[in-house]
Amino acid sequence: MSASSGIDRHRLKSCLDEVEARIQAACARAGRERDEVTLIAVSKTHPIEAIEALADLGVSDFGESYVQEWQEKARELEDSVRWHFIGGLQSNKARFVAGDVALIHSVDRKSLVNALARRSEAPVNVLLQVNISGERSKGGVEPEELNAFYASVVASPELRVCGVMGMAPYADDPEDARQYFRRLRELFDGLVAYAREHAPQRADEIREISMGMSGDFEVAIEEGATLIRVGSALFGERHYDA
């Protein structure tokens, strides 16, 4: 991470204002209330000072993808922000995040579920990641396997399944993402129906749809996203030279 000096608070504020205006416009188009959508500022590769600046401007939720980087930031910032772990998570690192982040977005296999369950004192809030794009590199359970995977996760009382997460393939035109987000919404609805039948006392816990990034969050909101994960539109480009 670079030195603390280069934080341009005015630029962060204008980016946040613009993202906020776009969120509000998308909610209005979709007939949704603004408070149905939570902005998660994806701060991976960006310095603590930038997180603090956005927190000062009222952003409460931040997303990180790398365990060690998140640990360093969390140590500094303590409980002042709500953390989301959004990246691929190795089972052998699960114990470092279980219980210490508000939500893990990337649960997609039984070995990870078992590792999280082993470490938990309080319930661990998770989303089931679904591979809606069909790209192998993206991670996630196959759409056809979602309900069966849920059944295996919900058998662990240490985990609370709060919803689903997915990523559209990269595209220049955000409209290209719509079909993938619509699919995730349908899978979410199907999962809730499945849970009502097979785990009725747990079905109400399934509420969140995490989808939409800098390039496509407005389409995601129109298609029902409750959590959007926005990095570069807030912080600028990422540099992986840390």
**Binding site residues, ligand PLP, CB under 6 A:** 42, 44, 65, 86-87, 213-215, 229-233
The distance of closest approach from Cβ of residue 58 to ligand PLP in the complex, given in angstroms and rounded to an integer, is 19
The distance of closest approach from Cβ of residue 87 to ligand PLP in the complex, given in angstroms and rounded to an integer, is 5
The distance of closest approach from Cβ of residue 192 to ligand PLP in the complex, given in angstroms and rounded to an integer, is 23
Scan for tokens 């591979």, then name that residue.
131
The distance of closest approach from Cβ of residue 42 to ligand PLP in the complex, given in angstroms and rounded to an integer, is 4
CB neighbourhood size of 122 (10 A) = 9
Burial of 223 (0-12, 13-18, 19+ CB in 10 A): buried
Whose Cβ is closer to ligand PLP: residue 55's or residue 199's? 55
H/E stretch holding 237 reads none
H/E stretch holding 42 reads strand 38-42
Whose Cβ is closer to ligand PLP: residue 39's or residue 117's? 39
Whose Cβ is closer to ligand PLP: residue 96's or residue 217's? 217
Whose Cβ is closer to ligand PLP: residue 70's or residue 195's? 70
The distance of closest approach from Cβ of residue 111 to ligand PLP in the complex, given in angstroms and rounded to an integer, is 20
The distance of closest approach from Cβ of residue 65 to ligand PLP in the complex, given in angstroms and rounded to an integer, is 5
CB neighbourhood size of 18 (10 A) = 12
Whose Cβ is closer to ligand PLP: residue 49's or residue 216's? 216
Phi and psi angles of residue 56, each rounded to the nearest 5 degrees, phi first: -60, -30
Whose Cβ is closer to ligand PLP: residue 146's or residue 177's? 177
99-107 long-range CB contacts below 8 Å, 24 or more apart?
99/124, 100/74, 101/70, 102/61, 103/127, 103/162, 103/208, 103/227, 105/63, 105/129, 105/165, 105/210, 105/227, 105/229, 106/139, 106/165, 107/153, 107/159
* Closest residue to ligand PLP in the complex (CB): 231
